[in-house]
Structure 1
Amino acid sequence: MKALRCFCVCSLLLLKVSAGFGDLRCPENVSVDSLNTRYVLRWDWPHETAANQTVTFTVQCLDEFRSRKASNEKYRTSLCVNVLEHRCDFTGAELSYDICFLLRVRANTSQQSSGWVQIRFCPDEHAALGPPSSLKLSSVKEDLEIIITDPLSSTNQSMKTLLKNKLSYLIQYWRRSEGPQKAKVLETKNNLVMLTELDRQTWYCVRVQSHDDFHNKSSVFSDTHCTRTEGQMPYWQIFLYVLISLLLCLLLVLLYFCFNKMLSLLKNTFCPAVHLPDHIQELWLSESETPQLLAPESPESVCEPLVMVSAELDAVAVDEHSNAGEQDSSTHSRHSSGDSGVYSTEEDSSHRSTTHADLQMSSRKHGVELRDGTLRELCA
């Protein structure tokens, strides 16, 4: 009888266990996202359930040291109970930073629960370290002053206190024109740092990284801050700036003259200042007639007769007339010295009229010859 009774009890227990854990699957890909003392447990649960069942999740935490005791269930702490999300933010649990914990999660429905999935989590080893909470950069004469504020916990406590003074900083600084690839590195544990031996009147950029010396883990870099050092500018730099300015001015002047020259050339080519006369433009634009120059039909339509009487010809005619008069008077005096005065007067007047008529005829003849020659030259 006792054996039969024990068999029935064991069968009932197995049925309960199979009903509780046999059908519902466990969460997958359980991990912890952490930064300083902010902790979030995440998991996946891609399995299907019955249509009328809602799946929730429960997360518990246990100190690793107490887990070695036999009666450790009473030391377990529930961080999240029956949550629908696939995450559990247990930052408010305020776990000790230098102690390891066992975290476990399971899926639940109204009728059954899955098995537990457990991971080990040590905040000081596994939690990511954040960069400095703030960084101030200022120029002090020729140096740069850097004020670093420690990364803070969820309760605004300095991480340097939690890390037991194992926190240091890695400072990178460089000229803004060069870039971070040529940065100089300075490691320090101080929150106030002076960067010396810098160039005057030069822009520098700085960024800082937190480092845990004990576990050898580093944070991401902080935001980059840039400022310019003070002090008098070096003479070579002043001379270089002046030279560059002069070259730029010269280049602008050359460009200006080249532009004006090109503009004037284009204007003279496409819009000349000299215009053709109106009658030539009319002939040029006419479609019925071919533009051509007007040719005169005869020289007389263009050239006019020009009569020229040479002064030398008049003088020669006068000399001939005077010589002829002297000869006539001498001859007349020899042959008819005894004639009367009336005859002499009539003879002289007739001789003068004859001589004047001959002079006009010779002048006209000479003028006609000159006119014919001039017309030939003008109308050739």
Structure 2
Amino acid sequence: MATRRSRKLLMMVVLLEFTNGVWTLPAPGTVSMDSVNMRHVLRWTQPRASCNSTVLYSVQYQGEFELLIKNGSWINAPECQRIPLTSCDLTFDLGSDSDYSLRVRAQCGSKMSAWAKFPFNRNNITPPVPELRVTAAGDVLLVSVRKFPLTAVTMVTIWRTDEEQQTKDYSMPADQEVLQVAALQEGAVYCVKAKVVLNLDVQSGFTDSHCVSITGPGAPAWKQPTAVTVTVVVMLGLLIGLFWSLVHCRPDSCQKYFQKEPLPSFLIGTVTVWIAIPQQREELSAVTVSRPLLRGGAT
């Protein structure tokens, strides 16, 4: 009996020494999560221990599926294995609304620290109010919001100012940059507001209302002043060019453009005109006149 106790005691001492030899590096401290604009970044502080080389860190996470279905297995964060940084972006790794366990450990050469754990659930994070931009192009309303991670959806509400009770809701996935609402009434004023939704229980507040006037289904509003400006510039350029040409035109050059061309020979001939001179006796005298035939003759 005493021999068995001695063996157990010796084994415990060996295991204790082995454990102390393995975990000679302290675990990272002050583990926290920064959730800003729907981005989840795990942060920690460097362990207080001397290390002759760069301290490297590895991060793992475990969701309910890994805990219950996969027998408590852990998943390596792909972008956060043996990194020298004290932060890890887990936005796209924490894609569900379940409870997560996160852990990070340090490594200095062959020395490994114990895991420092941190619980997390994104449902406890309130998403920020989106940044909204609203413009009108003809009879089309263009709504754009700041990009969020792929797990977020932006709900956009639109209404006419004279029909505030009749609103229409539109859903914008995170990968959609612009929402276009066409065939709106010309001359009417439409207002827009939006919010970010993770699920029915987690959503941001609404933005302030942004209102714009619809110009009509013709050319976009920006094209009208642009066309007028281009026309004025072109006409002004033509007038300046014409004035410069007249001022700086040499006489011999200008004469080419303004010289008088002679009449063709077949238009010039001799015409006999009879003129009646009243006397006691009516006599006719013949007068020969040479002039262009274009002017005709008179009797």
TM-score by length of 1: 0.40
**Higher relative contact order (CA closer than 8 Å, sequence separation 6+):** 2
Larger fraction in helix: 1
Q: Which has the larger radius of gyration?
A: 1
Larger fraction in strand: 2
